[in-house]
């Protein structure tokens, strides 16, 4: 097991690159953003997580995942991330996010004739189910204030994706391997 370390007690201390997947529900589910941050789009399998919602955040373009027993959030599972890619994505996430394992009984949207990394968050077709072992899927949970409105991937894609991906490229160029900065509030 290749465990990622980002300091004792850091967010990545319990994550294994070979055994764990990351559930993404906001900007990280867009291949354009992943390409700018880590230089590629890893395996990206569409998925849903029940008991949670992607909440719009005050003054920000990206969402925060918050518990909501009546909700289901659409997103994707990222798998096959290297330790360095996990570290970049973790640095990208604000301090208000907490990396947590989630119990995951996912409905996966996948067309066996199409490479899953070509997923777009707005693709609605659900075709297969999969069960993930407890603790094998992690996600970033928001710990600060949210708005009552849900974040909409389609709205973000239409209005902000291009400029956001460009800002991600700029952020990535400033990434200092010694002192990893957090992404600016956009």
Question: How much of the chain exceeds pLDDT 70, in percent?
Answer: 71
pLDDT, residue 136, reads 81
The pair of structure tokens assigned to 40 is 């590629």
pLDDT over threshold 50, residue 4: no
* Averaged pLDDT for residues 9-16: 77
Cβ atoms < 10 Å from Cβ of 149: 10
CA distance 135 to 180: 26
Supply the pLDDT for residue 172. Answer: 92
Task: Identify the DSSP state of 128.
Answer: E
pTM beyond 0.85, yes or no: no
Instruction: Identify any residues that bridge with 99 across adjacent strands, giving them in sequence order.
Output: 140
HEC profile for 23-57? Answer: EECCHHHCHHHHHHHHCCCCEEEEEEEEEEEEEEC
pLDDT digits (tens, 9 = 90+) for 29-49: 999 999 999 999 998 888 889
Mean residue pLDDT of the chain comes to: 80
Hey, what domains does the chain have and what are their CATH numbers?
22-109+133-175 (3.10.490.10)
Q: Which active-site residues does the annotation give? A: 93
pLDDT at 135 (0 to 100): 61
Residue 128 Cα distances to 9, 19, 64, 87, 110, angstroms: 36, 21, 26, 30, 7
Question: In Å, how far are 28, 36, 46, 57, 80 from 96, measured between CA atoms?
Answer: 16, 22, 25, 11, 25
């Amino acid at each position: 097991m290749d465990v990622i370390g980002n300091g004792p007690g850091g967010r990545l201390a319990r994550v294994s690159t070979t055994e764990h997947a990351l559930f993404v529900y906001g900007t990280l589910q867009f291949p354009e953003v992943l390409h700018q941050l880590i230089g590629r789009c890893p395996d990206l399998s569409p998925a849903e997580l029940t008991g949670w919602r992607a909440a719009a955040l005050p003054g920000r373009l990206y969402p925060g995942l918050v518990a909501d027993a009546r909700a289901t959030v659409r997103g994707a599972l990222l798998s096959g991330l290297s330790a360095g890619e996990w570290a970049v994505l973790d640095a990208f996430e604000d301090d208000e996010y907490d990396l947590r394992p989630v119990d995951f009984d996912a409905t996966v949207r996948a067309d066996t004739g199409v490479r899953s990394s070509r997923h777009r968050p707005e693709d609605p077709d659900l075709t297969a189910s999969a069960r993930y072992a407890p603790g094998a899927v992690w996600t970033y949970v928001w710990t600060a204030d949210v708005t009552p409105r849900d974040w909409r991937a389609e709205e973000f894609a239409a209005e902000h994706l291009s400029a956001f991906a460009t800002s991600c490229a700029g952020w990535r160029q400033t990434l200092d391997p010694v002192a990893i900065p957090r992404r600016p509030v956009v």
